[in-house]
A and B are shown apart, each in its own frame.
Chain A
Amino acid sequence: AQSVTQPDIHITVSEGASLELRCNYSYGATPYLFWYVQSPGQGLQLLLKYFSGDTLVQGIKGFEAEFKRSQSSFNLRKPSVHWSDAAEYFCAVGYSGGGADGLTFGKGTHLIIQP
């Protein structure tokens, strides 16, 4: 079965500093990979996704992620964070089968921005 691990429950970054959020997955085939962001009290918004092709994927709000098959990782990065980036971030791996598509989510990383 597929699984997703986000090793960091909380991360604190200073405003203007760079950010990397880690995500490792376990999946038997080529995965579909996603990053979502959740602002307080809101639903989840898709930041970016990887299906195939270029392993460096650009998303919204200045985020990017790199797929590394050898490391089973899909880490999210941003060169310079803004206070508005404070949120919960979820990595997910997609699968297909059994009559329905589905996503398996990591438990999330809570990003705190220091002024």
Chain B
Amino acid sequence: DVKVTQSSRYLVKRTGEKVFLECVQDMDHENMFWYRQDPGLGLRLIYFSYDVKMKEKGDIPEGYSVSREKKERFSLILESASTNQTSMYLCASSLLGTGDGYTFGSGTRLTVV
């Protein structure tokens, strides 16, 4: 089975801290994605990447950056965490060109205090 692993299930950080959310997939997928999920708003795409060192902005990139130095790892960075970034963060990966859908990680519940 394809596995997408997010390093933390729950995280509590202080306002202004730099926060790293890590995501690793083990099936050689080209595409990787970061979403945030909030009640009533569904899933909103923050950033995605279709190759190493490539990144594309999604719908809500402000306040976030990403890093993809290796194919299997896609990191989401909150440069200076704010309370409005309290959310569930979901990482996903997919195989390019197959239309096969995404495989999701279990999510990271981030609380910024």
Ordered by A's residue number, 20 sampled pairs between the chains whose C-beta atoms are within 8 Å are A9-B40, A32-B99, A34-B101, A42-B106, A43-B104, A44-B92, A46-B102, A49-B100, A49-B101, A92-B101, A94-B99, A94-B101, A99-B50, A99-B56, A100-B56, A101-B94, A101-B96, A101-B97, A106-B42, A107-B41
A32 closest partner in B (C-beta): B99
Question: Which B residues fall within an 8 A CB radius of A?
Answer: 4, 31, 33, 40-43, 45, 48, 50, 54, 56, 90, 92, 94, 96-107, 109
Within 8 A of B (CB), among A1-52: 9, 32, 34, 36, 41-46, 49, 51
Check A32 against B101 for contact (C-beta < 8 Å): yes
Check A46 against B101 for contact (C-beta < 8 Å): yes
Chain B residues closer than 8 Å to A105, beta-carbon distance: 42-43
Given contacts A100-B56, A101-B96, contact A43 B90 (CB under 8 A): yes
Given contacts A99-B50, A107-B42, contact A41 B101 (CB under 8 A): no
Check B101 against A102 for contact (C-beta < 8 Å): no
Check B107 against A41 for contact (C-beta < 8 Å): yes
Interface centre among B45, B99, B103 (most CB of A within 10 A): B99
Check A44 against B50 for contact (C-beta < 8 Å): no
Given contacts A90-B43, A107-B42, contact A44 B104 (CB under 8 A): yes
Bound form: Cα–Cα A106–B37 in Å: 12
Chain A residues closer than 8 Å to B50, beta-carbon distance: 99-100
Kindly list 5 other residue pairs between chains A and B, CB separation below 8 angstroms, not including A44-B92, A96-B99.
A32-B99, A94-B101, A99-B54, A101-B98, A103-B101
B33 closest partner in A (C-beta): A102
A94 CB → nearest B CB, Å: 5
Bound form: Cα–Cα A108–B94 in Å: 21
Chain A residues closer than 8 Å to B102, beta-carbon distance: 44, 46, 103
A44 closest partner in B (C-beta): B104
Contact of A51 among B4, B56, B97, B99 (CB under 8 A): B99
Within 8 A of B (CB), among A72-115: 90, 92, 94, 96, 98-103, 105-108
Chain B residues closer than 8 Å to A102, beta-carbon distance: 31, 33, 45, 48
